[in-house]
Amino acid sequence: MKTHFRLIVLGGGAGGISTASRILSKKKALENEVLIIEPGDYHFFQPGWPLVGSGEVNLEATKKETEKVIPKGARWMKAVVDSVDPVKREVKAGGKTVSYDFMIVALGLELDYEAIKGAEKSLGKNGVCTNYLYNYVEYTYESLKNTTGGNILVTKSQSLIKGGVSAENSLFTMDDFMKKHDRDVDIIFRTGRSEIFEVKKYSDSLVEQLEAKNIDYKLNEELVEVNGEEKEAVFKNHETGETHTVPFEMLVITPPMHGPSALKGSGLLDDEGWVDVDKHTMMHNTYTTVFSLGDASNLPTVKMGGAVRQQLPILVDNLIQRMDDDDPTHIYDGKTACPIATGYGELILAEFGYNKIPKETTFLDQSDDKKLFYQFKKNMLPIMYWYGMLNGKS
Ligand X SMILES: Cc1cc2nc3c(=O)[nH]c(=O)nc-3n(C[C@H](O)[C@H](O)[C@H](O)COP(=O)(O)OP(=O)(O)OC[C@H]3O[C@@H](n4cnc5c(N)ncnc54)[C@H](O)[C@@H]3O)c2cc1C
**Residues binding ligand X (CB under 6 A):** 10-16, 37-40, 46-47, 49-50, 80-81, 106-108, 131-132, 162-163, 166, 260, 262, 294-296, 303-306, 308, 339
**Encoded amino acid at 366, one letter:** Q
Q: How far is the CB of 49 from ligand X (least distance, A)?
A: 4
Q: How far is the CB of 230 from ligand X (least distance, A)?
A: 27
Stretch (H or E) spanning 171: helix 166-180
Q: How far is the CB of 368 from ligand X (least distance, A)?
A: 18
The residue among 165, 144, 142 whose CA lies nearest residue 153 is: 144
Backbone angles phi, psi at 323, to 5 degrees: -65, -25
Residue number, 258 or 330, with CB nearest to ligand X: 258
Contact (Cβ atoms closer than 8 angstroms) between residue 144 and residue 174: yes
Q: How far is the CB of 345 from ligand X (least distance, A)?
A: 16
Residues 6+ apart with CB under 8 A from 126: 228, 229, 231
Residue number, 8 or 188, with CB nearest to ligand X: 8
Paired strand residues for 227: 232
Looking at beta carbons, which residue is closest to ligand X?
13
Residue number, 186 or 333, with CB nearest to ligand X: 333
Q: How far is the CB of 215 from ligand X (least distance, A)?
A: 20
Residue number, 46 or 151, with CB nearest to ligand X: 46
Separation of alpha carbons 379 and 182, rounded Å: 28
Q: How far is CA 186 from the centre of its chain?
A: 28
Q: How far is the CB of 81 from ligand X (least distance, A)?
A: 3
Residue number, 266 or 318, with CB nearest to ligand X: 266
The residue among 368, 385, 295, 277 whose CA lies nearest residue 336 is: 295
Residue number, 231 or 262, with CB nearest to ligand X: 262
